[in-house]
Amino acid sequence: MNHDGIHMKFPHDFLFGAASASYQVEGAANKDGKGPTNWDVFSKIPGKTFEGTNGDIAVDHYHRYKEDIRLMAEMGLESYRFSVSWARILPDGDGEVNEKGLAFYNSLIDECLKYGIVPFVTLYHWDLPLALEEDGGWTNKRTAEAFVKYSEICFRSFGDRVKHWITFNETVMFCGLGYLKGAHPPGIQNDEKKYFQATHYVFYAHAKAIEIYKGLKQYGEIGITHVFLPAYSVNDREENLRAAQHANEFETFWYYDPILKGEYPRYVLDVLEEKGWTPEWTEEELDTLRRNAGLNDFIGLNYYQPIRVEKNHETAAVIEHSRETSTLAPGSPSFDGYYRTVKMADKTYTKWGWEISPEGFLDGLHMLKARYGDVKMYVTENGLGDEDPIIDGEIVDVPRIKYIEEHLKVIKKAIHQGINLKGYYAWSAIDLLSWLNGYKKQYGFIYVDHKDGLNRKKKLSFHWYKHVIETRGEEL
Ligand code: BG6
């Protein structure tokens, strides 16, 4: 074996997969008893999404899942990560069960298993039953309790065949965009108190759900996925190094500490106390976090880019303004004004301004190992959002191949260096609806032709990934 792992095959138990999320692929928004969700309503508010796109039809995976899974099987996919739409199972969040919703996911799971594709199921990928959103969403404990009920229904209905569960996808995104930036539902801006309260109820719901899961003795694994945004200082000035540490505390440790250590990071708690942003919590909730931290089997990392930060010296007015206009691309102050993200001249960026940095991932993995030890990890999302070139009718998504190749190489290196990584899920299996960027920003191995009846077509990356899987990455 070459010392940097270049000629190594990925271990036999490493899963090569790809991912999607219910709202972004399914469509069938009102079909077979599904209840309305926060996104069904939010996406219809003028100006909220790119060209007013919404998930009413999306890429119609609800009706075409058999064709889609067949294509995934042809690609050699070992595992498919998808999410369950809560409102298909419990149309009003915590009331009656909709049998047709259960039937759909039973068929989807069976279809995966027919081809030996391991279903990796996310319970919450942002589409919340509207009744719960209208009752305060994640700032109301009712939503957390409803989630626990919903997750138990899923475990009992699908757990004989699903052995890999993710409770939540990217808490920082749906809470941050929902309560600080107002870019996702419920569209609230600058409410730090609500933001931290919502994150707390998510962690509490996660802890209760894993306790129930383990009690059912289904012998699968369960964890949580966050977007992983490791922060690096733009230089070695003391104030910027401190700013990077501050960013890691708020963007990463706040999200993984309560899951893996069962407690919140002291540094953040002190800041919240000082600012008056501490969530309302009970001893019982805090104890639930402590008690169940040891039951969590893995963490999922959605890695797209690191953040480069420096101490912020802008005035409050500038911070306020940029909160309203900023996207995930660098160049704006953090929500608390402590640091700002910076676009750097010597780095490479995607068309949507996200930095491309496989090395940033490798360093970040070591940071996680230093803090959390040998916790099992999956890359639950990674990929390139691009407008794919079409030449003579072929989708030649070479930049995507390059992007994934570079990331798989560092993942191989990381495994070689002792990082406990067990799988890679490209985002995404198939072109899908980007929450705010419509269909223009493509991620899939499978192309969807919106001008031709949503027909599916294999991209160049489809054939490339198939070869990677067949050779277990040995040539990377
Ligand atoms: C992740 C989400 O944050 O990023 C996905 O889990 C999302 O649902 C992906 O689609 C890419 O984001 P975007 O904004 O490029 O569509």
Enter the DSSP assignment of 226. E
CA of 427 to the centre of ligand 1 (A): 8
Q: To test the ligand 1 pocket, which listed residue (169, 301, 435) has its Cβ within 8 A of the most ligand atoms?
A: 435
Helices then strands, each counted (H, E), the chain: 17, 15
Question: Is 289 near ligand 1, meaning CB less than 6 Å away?
Answer: no
Distance, CA of 443 to CA of 21 (rounded, Å): 13
Which ligand 1 atom lies nearest to the CA of residue 173? 3
What residues does 438 pair with on adjacent strands?
434
111 is known as an active-site residue: no
Residue-level pLDDT at 466: 98
| Token pair listed for 463 | 């054939």
221 is known as an active-site residue: no
Annotated binding site for substrate: 24, 125, 169, 304, 427
- Atom 13 of ligand 1, nearest CA residue: 434
Domain assignment present for residue 332? The answer is: no
Answer yes or no: are the C-beta atoms of 466 and 73 closer than 8 Å.
no
Domain assignment present for residue 344? The answer is: no
Question: What's the CATH code of the domain at 192?
Answer: 3.20.20.80
Domain assignment present for residue 70? The answer is: yes
Q: Determine what percent of the chain falls in helix, strand and coil, rounding each to the nearest 5.
A: 45, 15, 40
Answer yes or no: are the C-beta atoms of 199 and 265 closer than 8 Å.
no
| Token pair listed for 168 | 């939540």
CA of 434 to the centre of ligand 1 (A): 6
Residue-level pLDDT at 7: 79
* b/e map 352-380, b = 16+ CB within 10 Å: bebbbbbebbbebbebbbebbeebebbbb
- Residue by residue, pLDDT tens for the chain (476 residues) are 444 556 799 999 999 999 999 999 999 999 999 999 999 999 999 999 999 999 999 999 999 999 999 999 999 999 999 999 999 999 999 999 999 999 999 999 999 999 999 999 999 999 999 999 999 999 999 999 999 999 999 999 999 999 999 999 999 999 999 999 999 999 999 999 999 999 999 999 999 999 999 999 999 999 999 999 999 999 999 999 999 999 999 999 999 999 999 999 999 999 999 999 999 999 999 999 999 999 999 999 999 999 999 999 977 656 555 554 446 788 889 999 999 999 999 999 999 999 999 999 999 999 999 999 999 999 999 999 999 999 999 999 999 999 999 999 999 999 999 999 999 999 999 999 999 999 999 999 999 999 999 999 999 999 999 999 999 999 99
Domain assignment present for residue 415? The answer is: yes
Question: Is 227 near ligand 1, meaning CB less than 6 Å away?
Answer: yes
One-letter amino acid of 160: D
100: domain range? 15-229+357-470
Residue-level pLDDT at 329: 80
Domain assignment present for residue 207? The answer is: yes
- Atom 11 of ligand 1, nearest CA residue: 434
**What angle is formed at CA 132 by the lines to CA 128 and CA 134, rounded to 5 degrees?**
105
Domain assignment present for residue 2? The answer is: no
Residue-level pLDDT at 1: 41
Neighbours of 337 (CB within 10 A): 17
- Atom 8 of ligand 1, nearest CA residue: 21
Angle between helical axes of 99-114 and 141-158 (0-180°, round to 10): 50
Question: Is 171 near ligand 1, meaning CB less than 6 Å away?
Answer: no
Residue-level pLDDT at 337: 94
Tell me the pTM: 0.96
Domain assignment present for residue 343? The answer is: no
Phi-psi region of 28 (alpha: psi -120 to 50; beta: other; left: phi over 0): left
Count how many domains the chain has.
1
Domain assignment present for residue 350? The answer is: no
- Atom 16 of ligand 1, nearest CA residue: 434
309's enclosing H/E stretch is strand 307-311
Distance, CA of 112 to CA of 264 (rounded, Å): 38
CA of 28 to the centre of ligand 1 (A): 21
Residue of 26, 133, 170, 251 with catalytic role: 170
